[in-house]
Amino acid sequence: MARVTKNQKSALGKIEPGKQYPLSEATKLLKDLTFTKFDASVDMDVRLGIDPKKANQMVRGIVTLPHGTGKQVKVLVLCTQDKEEEAKQAGADYVGLDDYIDKIQQGWTDIDVIITMPSVMAKIGKLGRVLGPRGLMPNPKSGTVTVEVGKAVQEVKAGKIDFKVDRYGIVHSTVGKVSFSADKITENAREFLQTIIKLKPASAKGTYIKSISLSSTMSPGIRVDAKAIDE
């Protein structure tokens, strides 16, 4: 049985059992009960009342967090030569095509996002077995397959994230860092939740948002009141 540390006991003691907190109160509490020596990520898990096995109830979308994720996102742009300078000027960390395709085939995946163009997707399709399981495969729905590669890079660097409900009906996302002010975490989390609400499938019946949990790396989860995300 895992031993509960002094800090973990202290954190658990600050959470009222069974209580659901308004979003702004939850973010303040989260900062109080995070004791990591590093700048921990703030994560949000949203359980939805949908059946993810049904195509017409799939929830997937993109959102640009007002204050970004706090993470330095490494972006690879796979493009034709005429778009390379545009990608570099926008802040892409890696730019190229065939050389990077070869590197990925050899197992290199030290990147967070891949942006590419429709005209080169045929070449990238063969990387599906490597990129797919890691969530790195470019997708037009997430804005990572586009002719406007520079704009796409800027959006990702500014805090644009792609999210998708998992097979258990839960959407997971990072919404900031513990070093952010409580207000910034709240604003990021609220933007994320409001985007999920807008994506409610017409075929979904009953309660759409069943539960919301806010946590940081190694902290206990705090239950957020779905009816009080604007508070």
143-190 pLDDT, tens per residue? 899 999 999 999 999 888 889 899 999 999 999 999 999 999 999 999
Model confidence at 12, pLDDT cuts 50, 70, 90, reads low
Cα distances (Å, whole numbers) of residue 80 to 24, 119, 181: 46, 9, 41
Reported CATH class of domain 18-69+161-228: alpha beta
Q: What is the pLDDT of residue 13?
A: 62
Q: What is the pLDDT of residue 147?
A: 95
Answer for the pair 169, 48: CB distance below 8 angstroms, yes or no: yes
pTM of the predicted model as reported, rounded to 2 decimal places: 0.78
pLDDT tens, 43-96?
999 999 999 999 999 998 889 999 988 988 999 999 999 999 999 999 999 999
Answer for the pair 217, 7: CB distance below 8 angstroms, yes or no: no
Answer for the pair 78, 120: CB distance below 8 angstroms, yes or no: yes
pLDDT tens, 112-123?
999 999 999 999
CATH code for residues 75-157: 3.40.50.790
The strand pairing partners of 209, in sequence order, are 48
**Ranges of H-type helices in the chain:** 6-13, 23-32, 84-90, 98-105, 121-124, 128-131, 149-158, 182-198
| d(C-alpha 141, C-alpha 200), whole Å | 17
Is it true that 18-69+161-228 and 75-157 share their CATH fold? no
State the amino acid at position 27 in one-letter form: T
Q: Can you read off the two tokens belonging to residue 215?
A: 């946590």
Model confidence at 1, pLDDT cuts 50, 70, 90, reads very low
What residue segments make up the domains of the chain, in order of their start? 18-69+161-228, 75-157
Model confidence at 133, pLDDT cuts 50, 70, 90, reads confident
Answer for the pair 230, 22: CB distance below 8 angstroms, yes or no: no
